Amino acid sequence: MFPPPLPSDSICGYSRLWYTFDDTNTSRQQIMPLTPADWHTRFTRQAAWTRALRAYLFPRAGLANPKTRRVLEVGCGTGAILAELPESVTLAAGLDLDFAFLSLAQRSDSRARLTQGDALALPYADRVFDAALCHFLLLWVADPLQVLRGMARVTRPGGAVLALAEPDYGGRVDFPEELAALGAWQRESLRRQGADPLMGRRLAGLFHKAGLKNVETGVLGGQWSGFPDWEARESEWAVLESDLTQTSETVSIPEVQKLKALDRSATERGERVLFVPTFYAWGRVV
């Protein structure tokens, strides 16, 4: 049985700057760029949200099979997922555009073999991997079909291609109602950054178009108990604030602060619901 994974309640932005707000003053203050170590903390948290999904998918897709030794993660970031590949994997190849991220990934797992490069032009020979996967990547790339076709090309016949987590912000649920504006703001912000906020719903079709067979798709579930971790939510807010105020002409800083205060008070009352459907898909290479 598929154990429902941890809640996908991430605001899940991915912008390059970290801003914060002085609560007594509505001026925006740039503190500093988010460091690679900050991103690693964030990516590690996201990897924890999808751990139960991997525990379900890896055996199904053959990644837990001792014969699956060479695995590629495209857009591996700081290596949060590479470090959690099954022990039987002997080569954990990772590719990312960001050299600073790759430096951290090298430290996170001795099996890692890292390459700086573009997911749209994978620099590997055909059929060299037993499996290729990605995690929170496809929404950020200009042509996700091209990326999936590349992943299929570098995977041997019979191997698996997996997209472990692609959010769909069009299906975002916010409660109380006053917080519903956040979803629309976030979609606008992501579009302005060149991302596709509706990637999740497109995933199944893209897998079929890429020629993958026996495609299985699904959505991560959610369970909540007790009060959400506001400290974790603060970090999500910092990214959202940065994204919104950087990219939106229609959202003002006081509006953002008002919604943040509402979010916090609803969270403290135990009323807050935030759910972003996050899709996965995998298929076989023929």
Ligand X SMILES: C[S@@+](CC[C@H](N)C(=O)[O-])C[C@H]1O[C@@H](n2cnc3c(N)ncnc32)[C@H](O)[C@@H]1O
Contacts with ligand X by CB under 6 A lie at 14, 43, 46-47, 75-77, 80-81, 95-98, 101, 118-120, 135-137, 140-141
Q: What is the DSSP letter of 211?
A: T
d(CA 278, CA 286): 27
Parallel, antiparallel, or unpaired: how do β-strands 173-175 and 273-275 relate?
A: antiparallel
* Closest CB 32 distance from ligand X, rounded Å: 19
Pairing relation of β-strands 28-33 and 17-21? Answer: antiparallel
Compute the radius of gyration of the chain from its Cα atoms. 19
CA distance 152 to 208: 12
Q: Kind of pairing, strands 129-134 and 112-116?
A: unpaired
Decide whether 44 or 257 has the Cβ nearer to ligand X: 44
189: left (phi over 0), alpha (psi -120 to 50) or beta: alpha
CB of 24 to ligand X, least distance (A): 32
Give min distance, CB of 178 to ligand X, in A.
28
Residue among 28 and 45 whose Cβ is closer to ligand X: 45
Task: Report, in Å, the least distance between residue 190 CB and ligand X.
Answer: 12
CB of 87 to ligand X, least distance (A): 20
Q: How far apart are CA 51 and CA 39, in angstroms?
A: 18
Instruction: Give the residue ranges of DSSP H helices in the chain.
Output: 36-49, 51-61, 99-108, 144-153, 181-192, 199-209, 230-247, 253-268
**Residue number, 85 or 141, with CB nearest to ligand X:** 141
Smaller CB distance to ligand X: residue 96 or 263? Answer: 96
Smallest separation, CB 82 to ligand X (Å): 9
Measured from the CB atom, is 115 or 245 closer to ligand X? 115
108 SS3 class: helix
Min dist. Cβ of residue 1 to ligand X (A)? 25
> Can you tell me the distance from the alpha carbon of 220 to that of 9, in angstroms, rounded to the nearest whole number?
10
SS3 of residue 246 by DSSP: helix
Least gap, CB of 64 to ligand X (angstroms): 20
**Residue with the CB atom nearest ligand X in the bound state:** 77
Nearer to ligand X, 94 or 183 (CB): 94
Nearer to ligand X, 63 or 259 (CB): 63
Instruction: Name which of 150 and 228 has its Cβ closer to ligand X.
Output: 150
* Residue pair 263/240 in contact by the 8 Å Cβ criterion: no
